[in-house]
Amino acid sequence: MVAPPVKRSVVWSLAALASIGYLCAMVIGGALPELRSRVKFEAKGVMTLAPERIDRVEIERGATRVALARTRSGGWSREGGEVLSAPDAAKVSLAVQYMHTAGPVRTMKAEEIRGIAPSEFGLAPPELSITLFAGPERVLQARFGARNAEDLLQYMTLAGRDGMYLMSRFVGQQWDASIEAVQRR
């Protein structure tokens, strides 16, 4: 049996009123309800320090060396004062953030790679090296080597840590994009 049109419009009006009431309660309460099915983000990168704390970066690729310092506004400038454009500064900031958030796909212990020359992984010399600083303290020094056979991952070592990491190639690519942006200037 179909409800009369008047009864149906009353039901829809009450539903709309309840929805508006719920939205008002959320606004007054100040927060959206937390979804239990959503997984909380957890940074699993090789750098535990928050990316915002990094205030100086050194990038080396071949004979090219670039040193950058964080500006007061949160951007980046070359050592010597030349401020990077917003898009170029964003590339550097994203590269730093990846070191905090992008975890290794695989960690190879020193025993696994013992007896294999670093050149087999493109690490002698490395294709790209980065050093991150927080104040005078060196936080992280990474050396990026060749990509794996499938061209999806890149070999990486960290100063002071044994073994080697296979990282998603987008991490090294972001550092390449950063140094290329600075070199174009």
| Residue 7 scores a pLDDT above 90 | no
pLDDT classification of 59: cutoffs 50, 70, 90: very high
Give pLDDT, residue 36.
65
| Residue 164 scores a pLDDT above 70 | yes
| Residue 3 scores a pLDDT above 60 | no
Give residue for tokens 């010597």.
80
Going along the chain from its start, the domains and CATH numbers come out as 51-183 (2.60.40)
Residue-wise pLDDT tens digits, 74-120: 999 998 789 999 999 999 999 999 999 999 999 999 999 999 999 99
pTM score of the predicted model: 0.76
Whether the Cβ atoms of residue 123 and residue 155 lie closer than 8 Å to each other? yes
Spacing of C-alpha 66 from chain mean position: 20
Strand, coil or helix: what is 157?
A: strand
DSSP string computed for 125-144: TBSEEEEEEETTEEEEEEEE
Share of the chain above pLDDT 90, in %: 72
| Residue 44 scores a pLDDT above 70 | yes
Give pLDDT, residue 32.
60
Which token pair is 183?
């070199």
| Residue 157 scores a pLDDT above 80 | yes
